[in-house]
């Protein structure tokens, strides 16, 4: 399912203008047809006068009918069609009476009675007004269905946007808890300089994340910059134990994906790879285009699923032997966001080799930002991220990060 806002494209952008355009076009076409037929049958040009009166009469009566039909169209079907039949019969009678009177004025030598003339010409008013009434109801019913469809699409888009926003906001409380917990430890240890540096980085990270819409998409370059801000905060906890590597193809840097999609994967890697090992671990983020799809891989050099502490925050893992291993409730946040944004047109795969390590691969349709997007800072294509200047106390790295959201 697409997560972009719905913008209706109505059949008639301006209904009032469309009504008058159709009104003039329809009755003008009827007059042209009658005039061509009369000239082909050898009628004199004087016939144009009663013909014009006839068309103006039909035009005027149809305007009155439009007012009546507008009141009837949303009533119960029995009322709508019953009253419409009565009103149409009256309108046809009036139309035929005016046509008969004009015919008698145009041909005073006619020996036919008014009643005979009225019966003879009533078929034409019935055809014109009956066709006009059918078109009026058909077009308006179509427009009502179109409006309901547009309204439903808007509601679905709003519901999807709200769902994406809720999933995005689930990330913030857990991350803030961990970061504030670390800052609190620094303050208790009187490590004022690292605490101030971490607060500054936290402020930059939050400011960066608040710029993007919760349910919107960002370029991969923007997502990587957000990850680097987050890793800068975490590196103050783990120092050299946290090593990162980015390998982003230039062609993939402008691809779009849901904002804050990769941060939970990196946070999970920090918890179960970096924090779980005394020597730490390396976290690698790679992205490339595979045909018309974007493939993003987040991997770490941690113990994988072979450690005694499983990763309960990941849904399903595939071991080196190809067996699926259940690891708890999973990362419903990422799965739900991918499902909301792409439906079934996405891949979320987790693999762990027997020798250790953990890899999460996400594959989504390639959606390029295009040339109109403003220039964003590009992530470093490869290599390790530089270590930050301030070094926090070693005790912070041993504090628990908390449970995954």
Residue 134 lies in a domain: yes
Claim to verify: residue 220 and residue 178 sit in the same structural domain: yes
pLDDT band at 147, cuts 50/70/90?
confident
Q: Do residue 219 and residue 360 come from a single domain?
A: yes
How many angstroms separate the Cα of 329 from the Cα of each of 130, 153, 164, 295, 312? 64, 32, 19, 24, 7
160, 179: one domain: no
Total tally of structural domains belonging to the chain: 2
CATH number of the domain to which 222 belongs:
3.30.565.10
pLDDT tens digits, residue range 194-207?
788 888 877 877 77
Query: Do 179 and 162 lie in a common domain?
Result: no
Nearest to 181 by CA among 189, 246, 239: 189
Query: What's the rounded mean pLDDT across residues 287-311?
Result: 80
Provide, rounded to the nearest whole percent, the portion of the chain with pLDDT above 90: 22
Q: Which residue in 33, 87, 85, 40 sits closest to 55, CA to CA?
A: 33
| 158 and 225 co-located in one domain | no
In angstroms, the CA 303 to CA 271 distance is 11
Local confidence band at 169 (pLDDT 50, 70, 90 cut-offs): low
Q: When comparing pLDDT for 5 and 184, which is higher? A: 184
Judged against a pLDDT cut of 50, whether residue 369 lies above it is answered with yes
Are 54 and 76 found together in one domain? yes
Helix runs in 189-273, H state only = 192-211, 220-238, 263-269
First to last CA, the chain: 24
Beta-carbon count within 10 A of 302 CB: 27
Which residues does 140 contact at the CB level (< 8 Å), separation at least 6?
69, 73
DSSP reduced 3-state for 213: coil
**Does residue 202 fall inside a structural domain?**
yes
Closest to 258 in 3D by CA, of 167, 331, 381: 167
Indicate if 95 and 228 belong to the same structural domain. no
Rounded to an integer, what distance in angstroms lies between the CA atom of residue 385 and that of residue 402?
A: 25
Q: Based on the domain organization, do 90 and 209 belong to the same domain?
A: no
Chain mean pLDDT for the chain: 76
In 79-234, where do the E strands start and end? 217-219
> Is the per-residue pLDDT at 233 higher than 60?
yes
Residue 313 lies in a domain: no
Residue 70 CA to residue 137 CA, distance in Å, equals: 9
Residues paired with 347 in a beta bridge: 363
Ranking 42-56, 118-132, 363-377 by mean pLDDT, the lowest is 363-377
What per-residue confidence (pLDDT) applies to 272? Answer: 84
Cα distances from 148 to residues 70, 135, 140, 160, in angstroms, run 18, 20, 12, 18
Q: Please compute the mean of the pLDDT values over residues 137-160 and round it to a whole number.
A: 82
Q: Is the pLDDT of residue 357 over 50?
A: yes
Residue 394 scores a pLDDT above 70:
no
Contact 11, 147 (CB under 8 A): no
- Shared domain for 155 and 184, answered yes or no, is no
Decide which of 84 and 194 is more confident: 84
Q: Name the range with the highest mean pLDDT among 57-66, 192-201, 236-245.
A: 57-66
In a domain, 141, yes or no: yes
The encoded tokens of residue 251 equal 């062609």
What pLDDT does 386 receive? 42
Residue 327's pLDDT band, with cuts at 50, 70 and 90, is very low
384, part of any domain: no
Range of the domain at 251: 173-308+332-365
Q: What's the pLDDT band for 283 if we cut at 50, 70, 90?
A: very high
Q: Is residue 4 part of a domain?
A: no
- Per-position DSSP letters for 324-372, written without gaps between them: EEE-SS--HHHHHHHHHHHTTS-EEEEE--TTS-EEEEEEEE--B--TT
> pLDDT for 205-227, tens place per residue?
777 666 655 557 889 998 898 88
pLDDT of residue 329: 34
Q: How far apart are CA 298 and CA 324, in angstroms?
A: 19
Contact (CB, 8 A) for 294 and 363: yes
In our burial notation (b when 16+ CB lie closer than 10 A, e otherwise), range 335-359 reads: eebbbbbbeeebebebbbeeebbbb
pLDDT tens-place string over residues 19-43: 898 899 999 998 898 888 888 887 7
Q: Over the stretch 87-123, which tens digit does the pLDDT of each residue have? A: 999 999 998 888 888 877 777 666 667 777 777 788 8
Higher pLDDT, 113 or 253: 253
Which has the higher per-residue pLDDT, 201 or 330? Answer: 201
Kindly state whether residues 162 and 177 are assigned to the same domain.
no
Pick the most confident of 231-240, 264-273, 280-289.
Answer: 280-289
pLDDT band at 163 (very low <50, low <70, confident <90, very high): low
Report percent pLDDT > 70 for the chain: 72
Q: Which of 250-259, 312-321, 352-361 bottoms out in mean pLDDT, i.e. has the lowest?
A: 312-321
Query: What pLDDT is attached to residue 373?
Result: 43
Same domain, 135 and 177: no
Burial 64-76 (b: 16+ CB within 10 A, else e): ebeebbeebeeee
């Amino acid at each position: 399912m697409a997560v972009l806002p719905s913008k209706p494209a109505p059949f008639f952008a301006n209904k009032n203008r469309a009504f008058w355009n159709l009104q003039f076009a329809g009755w003008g076409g009827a007059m042209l047809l009658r005039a061509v037929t009369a000239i082909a049958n050898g009628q004199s040009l004087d016939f144009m006068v009663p013909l014009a009166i006839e068309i103006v009469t039909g035009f005027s009566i149809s305007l009155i009918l439009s007012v009546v039909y507008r009141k009837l169209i949303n009533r119960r079907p029995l009322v709508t069609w019953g009253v419409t039949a009565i009103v149409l019969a009256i309108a046809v009678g009036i139309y035929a009476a005016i046509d008969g009177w004009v015919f008698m004025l145009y041909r005073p030598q006619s020996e036919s009675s008014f009643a005979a003339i009225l019966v003879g010409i009533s078929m034409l008013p019935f055809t014109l007004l009956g066709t006009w009434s059918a078109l009026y109801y058909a077009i308006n019913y179509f427009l009502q269905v179109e409006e309901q469809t547009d309204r439903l699409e808007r509601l679905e888009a709003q519901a999807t946007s709200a769902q994406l926003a809720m999933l995005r906001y689930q990330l913030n409380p857990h991350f803030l808890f961990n970061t504030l917990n670390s800052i609190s430890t620094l303050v208790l240890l009187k490590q004022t300089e690292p605490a101030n540096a971490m607060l500054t980085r936290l402020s930059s990270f939050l400011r960066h994340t608040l710029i993007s819409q919760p349910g919107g998409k960002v370029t991969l370059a923007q997502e990587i910059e957000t990850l680097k801000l987050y890793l800068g905060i975490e590196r103050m906890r783990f120092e050299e134990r946290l090593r990162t590597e980015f390998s982003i193809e230039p062609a993939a840097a402008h691809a779009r994906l849901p904002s804050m999609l990769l941060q939970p994967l990196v946070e999970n890697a920090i918890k179960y790879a970096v924090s779980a090992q005394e020597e730490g671990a390396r976290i690698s983020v790679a992205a490339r285009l595979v045909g018309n799809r974007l493939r993003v891989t987040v991997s770490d050099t941690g113990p994988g699923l072979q450690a005694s502490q499983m990763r309960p925050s990941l849904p399903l893992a595939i071991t080196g032997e190809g067996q699926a291993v259940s690891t708890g409730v999973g990362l419903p946040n990422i799965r739900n966001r991918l499902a909301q944004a792409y439906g079934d047109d996405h891949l979320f795969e987790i693999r762990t080799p027997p020798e250790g390590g953990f890899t999460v691969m996400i594959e989504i349709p390639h959606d390029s930002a295009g040339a109109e997007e403003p220039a964003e800072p590009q992530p470093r294509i490869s290599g390790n991220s530089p270590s930050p200047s301030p070094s926090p106390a070693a005790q912070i790295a041993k504090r628990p990060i908390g449970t995954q959201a």
